[in-house]
């Protein structure tokens, strides 16, 4: 069972470069999320998608864009990377009921120099 798959696992960018983080889930989940995890700050929600075709801002959306390509895939794009975006990024998904547990991918460790 693949669950939630994220690519790449690691990435180093220079300031100003762009990149897209990919996420796919095979559990037929409706809702998908992008979080960033920073030491001492816990997980913070960047963007989420309640269903195919919809996206909404979370707690820290500035500097990011997202695309819900289909039910399976939810990508996160950094248009012009900044050192403040150095973090570990996690994609997650959950089923129709919000009493369903959240499933996470293994993360992308991004460093912006």
Partner 1 sequence: KQEVTQIPAALSVPEGENLVLNCSFTDSAIYNLQWFRQDPGKGLTSLLLIQSSQREQTSGRLNASLDKSSGRSTLYIAASQPGDSATYLCAVRRGSYNTDKLIFGTGTRLQVFP
**Interacting residue ranges for partner 1, rule: CB under 8 A:** 4, 31, 40-43, 45, 48, 50, 56, 58-59, 90, 92, 98-107
- For partner 1, the closer of residues 1 and 14 by Cβ is 1
Q: How near is the Cβ of 42 to partner 1 at its closest, in Å?
A: 4
* Contact assessment for residue 105 and residue 23, using Cβ atoms and an 8 Å cutoff: yes
Distance CA 18, CA 104 (A): 24
**Listed residue (50, 49, 44) closest to 63, CA to CA:** 44
Q: How near is the Cβ of 44 to partner 1 at its closest, in Å?
A: 8
- For partner 1, the closer of residues 32 and 81 by Cβ is 32
Q: How near is the Cβ of 105 to partner 1 at its closest, in Å?
A: 5
* Contact assessment for residue 31 and residue 94, using Cβ atoms and an 8 Å cutoff: yes
- For partner 1, the closer of residues 41 and 82 by Cβ is 41
Position of tokens 């960018």?
A: 13
Supply 84's token pair: 């403040």
């Amino acid at each position: 069972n693949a669950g939630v798959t994220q690519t790449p696992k690691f990435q180093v960018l220079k300031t100003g470069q762009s990149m897209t983080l990919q996420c796919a889930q095979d559990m037929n989940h409706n809702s998908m999320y992008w979080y960033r995890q920073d030491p001492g700050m816990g997980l913070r929600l960047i963007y989420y998608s309640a269903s195919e075709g919809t996206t909404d801002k979370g707690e820290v959306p500035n500097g990011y864009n997202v695309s819900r390509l289909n039910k399976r895939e939810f990508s996160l794009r950094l248009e012009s990377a900044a050192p403040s975006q150095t973090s570990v990024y996690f994609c997650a998904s959950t089923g129709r009921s919000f009493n369903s547990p959240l499933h996470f991918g293994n993360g992308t460790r991004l460093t912006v120099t």
